[in-house]
Chain A
């Protein structure tokens, strides 16, 4: 059974701090996904990565395939980064994703 575990479950930071969210997964095929769920409920895809590192603005995602571990970093955090961050790992067939339970991030001004 595919398992995806995230840590921490909840994270509170001050504006400007460097944030790290971790994700461990058990299957791992070609692409580990990171998504963001806004306070209003909308969900958007942030990254898909199968090796190394990807960067988009202040967000950086890294992955270690051998250890089946990925991290999402946010540099110079801002209150607008407050959201739930979710990682997801493909099932063996590749057709479906298994989602972690998410990390609730709150950035205070």
Chain B
């Protein structure tokens, strides 16, 4: 079964750091561009970051640029999002997402909740 499972969410204080992980199974992870998308409570979806198949190219939303770092380990079938200098507005469910060759987001994880609060 094709599956993405996120982990690493939790409660963190403003200014703190957190690393999210996304474990992929059921498909050739190294062949797919991967993304992070977030959704603040009661709000819409927001693109966060993307990474190419070999990790050589990365992309970020302006709202997280310079604070978040996306990476992947194809030998471990795992995607990461290192988040630092966290703010209250980063509070959201974070989804790991696979993109097809047509850039369609066809597989989504169940999401992991990040809460930034003192």
Partners in one complex: no
Residues on B lying within 8 angstroms of A by beta carbon are none
